[in-house]
Structure 1
Amino acid sequence: MNLNPKTPSLNSSWRLVNFSIGLALVVVLLGGWTRLNDAGLGCPDWPACYGHFVLPPAHQVEERILIDFPGHAVDLKKGWLEMVHRYAASLLGLMILLQAVIAIRKRSIEGYPLSLSCSLLVLVIIQGLFGMWTVTLKLVPWVVTLHLLGGMATLALLVRLRQRLKALKGAELPTGRHAEPAVVMLVVALFIQISLGGWTSTNYAGWACDHWLVCHQGNVIEYDFATGMNPVVPLGPNYEGGMLPAEARAAIQISHRIGALMFVLSLLLATWRLRNNPALKPWLGLVWVVTGAQIVLGVLNVVFQLPLSLATAHHAAAVMLLLSVMAVYGRACVKRKRTEVIHGYLSPG
């Protein structure tokens, strides 16, 4: 299948979206690594770090702190973790800006995802603001959770943009912009579960339970869902390490487990609804495999009380789960192959 010579080339968009997806993966994984290493406040200021965009030697940083950041203990390792994340996120923002500019220039191509490209630009700008607020508001949980969700949404929309471009330049024709409702429900359930995972992490509730099935085996514990799930918290305090009582943190972790069950039920429904689509079976199988691995990692994190290696693997598996679900979503939007000329743009190849 080849583009008509009169049709503007999509090669620049294709290369850029592929690079952007790879970079977005790096950014999301770096964000998790930064959070799990308690480096969210590795830099006390934004967008610089201790007043520098490239961290100076330790003795210079310490002198700067004495003047501008009294009471803040310097940790260059955490500062570098935070700055590398910012560098990568800034580069991703530039790539998405270029994608939007290209989309505007190619808006004459019928079916080109202009609105999706521009929506990504708006989202990445909002992400930058939440990155700033993460520091200036000292890790207030709702900001950090929304920042995580924004990163995952950016990755998901980039994948969707790639799918739309592939359909435009390649072998498949989407019959609509929306997939089977059960698959849409699956995507929604996944983002709800990601938000609950982020809420668990940002409230430091991963240590709240010491048993993988019940929260505390042999002990009766009261769950404070009203406090634990309440996003309205005072601004000003430093939320590093968490501030909620044990009952509220336990309620948060139990909510995360309930969310996992809801996701599995949504996956069962999607699998049943798509059981007669042979093209989707391998991808649904991949989702099941990653889901199983994620459940095992979740159990191991509770059993071993959140070691850094397992917590990082749990975060990486969530990213993999998002990619596999988006693969199912994209293919659920595709109903037939291109076998004929479409609007004079494409011809069989």
Structure 2
Amino acid sequence: MNMPANLYSRLIGYTLLLTYILIIVGGATRVYDAGMSCPDWPHCYGFYIPFPESKIPGGYTVGFQHFTWWQVSLEWSHRALASLVGFGLLAITFMAVQRARRSQSVPQEKAALALALALLTVQIGLGGLTVLKSNINWSVVMHLGTAMLFFGSIVWLRRAVASNGHKASEKTPVPMRLSLYVMAALVWVVMLIGAFVSSSHVGGVCGGLFSCDGVWMPSPKVDIGQHIHMQHRLFALLTVILSIVLVVLAKRTAPHLRKVALHVHLMVWGQVALGVATLYSFASYPEYYYPLSIAHLAWGTLVWLGALGALLTLHYGRHGRYHGA
């Protein structure tokens, strides 16, 4: 069976986009406390399509809590999108097998796809665990962390296929290379701590911008919520500092990465601005807290994408950069 290469590339791109939307909807589900609005899994009140509410005996009620159609729609949409991503990856796998039989596979394509399949399997299990554990904070952190790694594996797969086997021609000094790896790791860790802050409902426990009730780093023995909240800020600060280091290093030692480093730096500042807005909205503009929290996650995912793109540029150079299918 002869399949056009651009169809394969487009399918990977669409799956990547769906995964991004899935992450945002998952964040909205968490923010609006809709994670338990479908109490069973993989069904929702015993149905795959739990609409309208009138067909559900007792309505959208779990224990003594009644959920709105909006909350149920969020959780159901989250699961439906996850299914679409799963089917998309299966279709990619089928086409990848056909490419391999025709010896059309490119270096690292199989590794990226294998990683994506493994992470998707883990993510499905974590999704069920999150529901069964009633969205306990550690399960939410694991679920988001794995989602980001899965998203990264699809980014890697798309870049590997789009580069068509080409590699970077420029040499990058070790300090710059290490800094890019640390940046990606830092962004991932910041997002995990942020997920813990959000799922533990401690986003507003520290009112000030530079301290928490007059203390820079509260002891976890005194208030674990305040401690984790300030840890999130600390790692965010380290990310800002490292993004500045990247710009300086790129200018002095790796001019071919100047635009990449500046792009990451500016995106980090955008995330900081959203974080500050989210912090102050908690007490001053509560009607904007939920939308800003979702925007914070959405932009943070793009920062993660930018950090990964910078890493992949080390290996592939400018080859395979996205400018359409």
TM-score (norm 2): 0.85
User: How many angstroms does 1:225 deviate by?
Assistant: 2.3
Contact persistence 2:243–2:268 (CA under 8 A): no
SS of residue paired to 2:73: helix
Contact persistence 1:104–1:114 (CA under 8 A): no
Contact persistence 1:103–1:112 (CA under 8 A): no
Give the AA of the match of 1:291.
V
Structure 1 match to 2:323: none
Structure 1 match to 2:259: 282
| Residue 304 of structure 2 corresponds to residue 322 of structure 1 | yes
Structure 2 match to 1:297: 274
Cα distance in 1 between the residues matched to 2:108 and 2:223:
51
Cα distance in 2 between the residues matched to 1:206 and 1:336:
39
Structure 1 match to 2:53: 58
- Change in CA separation of 1:55 and 1:8 when aligned onto 2, cut-off 3 Å: closer
| Residue 120 of structure 2 corresponds to residue 144 of structure 1 | no
Instruction: String of CA shifts for 1:254-294, please: whole Å, max 9, x gaps.
Output: 00011112212332333333224344222222212221121
- Change in CA separation of 1:211 and 1:65 when aligned onto 2, cut-off 3 Å: closer
Q: How many residues align?
A: 306
Structure 1 match to 2:204: 207
SS of residue paired to 1:216: coil
1:312 to 270, 288, 294: 294
Cα distance in 2 between the residues matched to 1:251 and 1:161:
38
Larger Rg: 1
- Change in CA separation of 1:59 and 1:127 when aligned onto 2, cut-off 3 Å: same
Structure 1 match to 2:160: 164
> Which runs of 5 or more structure 1 residues have no equivalent in the other structure?
1-6, 227-245, 339-349
Cα distance in 2 between the residues matched to 1:72 and 1:62:
14
Cα distance in 2 between the residues matched to 1:304 and 1:19:
34
| Residue 81 of structure 2 corresponds to residue 100 of structure 1 | no
Structure richer in helix, relative to its length: 2
Cα distance in 1 between the residues matched to 2:145 and 2:244:
24
1:153 to 149, 165, 168: 149
Q: What RMSD, in angstroms, separates the aligned Cα atoms of the two structures?
A: 2.7
Cα distance in 2 between the residues matched to 1:260 and 1:285:
17
Contact persistence 2:211–2:217 (CA under 8 A): no
Structure 2 match to 1:10: 5
Give the AA of the match of 2:234.
I
> Which runs of 5 or more structure 2 residues have no equivalent in the other structure?
321-325
User: How many angstroms does 1:164 deviate by?
Assistant: 0.7
Give the AA of the match of 1:215.
C
Structure 2 match to 1:23: 18
Cα distance in 2 between the residues matched to 1:75 and 1:309:
18
- Change in CA separation of 1:288 and 1:112 when aligned onto 2, cut-off 3 Å: closer
User: How many angstroms does 1:113 deviate by?
Assistant: 0.8
Give the AA of the match of 2:185.
V
Cα distance in 2 between the residues matched to 1:61 and 1:206:
34
Structure 2 match to 1:173: 167
Cα distance in 2 between the residues matched to 1:324 and 1:221:
30
Contact persistence 1:13–1:102 (CA under 8 A): yes
User: How many angstroms does 1:182 deviate by?
Assistant: 1.7
Cα distance in 2 between the residues matched to 1:28 and 1:206:
19
